[in-house]
Amino acid sequence: MNLLATKETVERRCTLSNTEFPRYPHHQISILPTLRRQSSQNTHGTTDELRLTRYILNVGLRHCQADITDPERAAELKKKRNFRSFYYRGIELDKLLDLPNEEFVELVTCRARRRFQRGLKRKPMGLIRKLRKAKKEAPPNEKPRMVKTHLRDMIVVPEMIGSVIGIYNGKVFNSVEIKPEMVGHYIGEFSITYKPVRHGRPGIGATHSSRFIPLK
């Protein structure tokens, strides 16, 4: 196969119409795996054919990336992009924040539901009041100050989302920002009381071969 002819063929095939290489980057998902599959299955073909397939693949990638650098195109794609919204037991976050306490209690697990039905005592309610005050005093578009607590058995409620809590682990207060995914969990789960073991290399004397090495 003539390499010169191959290049001309590629230039002719890579006019990059919207049918072969669409101008929107998210369309390349359906095209590029096909080209990669063709190049991997083409083991019995010549080296020139493999080069041709790789060249088409690279040109297509460059073409798709060129559209992303265009500021107008990037702004348009950013508007169209949909962020994944958080749902707790089928209820969206905005509705969850406005949900009455009685309805929220019905959504949580039976262990947390029993805790709420027995009533929150003075210390948990005091923590919630401190978190409300810290949120109110926080400047706009900034995180509230950290509120320290020893109440590791406090259950995260929607009102606490966005707060920063210093959770005591028996030695220090670990700063934790409350996120929507933490709703219904104990805050102690996010400040573990031990340091996970990370095994390194064995020391001198730990193995049979190094047992008789003299120590300095």
DSSP per residue, 141-198:
TSPPPPEEE--TTPBP-GGGTT-EEEEE-SSSEEEEE--GGGTTSBGGGGS-SSPPP-
Q: HSE-up of 94 (CA within 13 Å, CB side)? A: 1
Q: Is residue 204 part of a domain?
A: no
How far apart (Å, rounded) are the C-alpha atoms in residues 3 and 7?
A: 6
Q: Is residue 53 part of a domain?
A: yes
Q: Is residue 202 part of a domain?
A: no
How far apart (Å, rounded) are the C-alpha atoms in residues 209 and 162?
A: 55
Of residues 57 and 130, which shows the higher confidence score?
130
Q: Which pLDDT does position 125 carry in this prediction?
A: 95
Tens of pLDDT, residue by residue over 175-208, are 999 999 999 999 999 999 999 998 888 777 778 7
Tens of pLDDT, residue by residue over 18-36, are 444 444 444 444 545 554 5
Q: Name the domain count of the chain.
A: 2
Query: Are 28 and 8 found together in one domain?
Result: yes
Q: Is residue 147 part of a domain?
A: yes
Tens of pLDDT, residue by residue over 56-65, are 667 665 555 5
Query: Are 179 and 97 found together in one domain?
Result: yes
Query: Are 156 and 139 found together in one domain?
Result: yes
* Cβ proximity of 6 and 51 under 8 Å: yes
Query: Are 182 and 93 found together in one domain?
Result: yes
Q: Which pLDDT does position 81 carry in this prediction?
A: 64
At 3, the amino acid letter reads L
**Domain of residue 178, residue span:** 87-190
pTM: 0.57
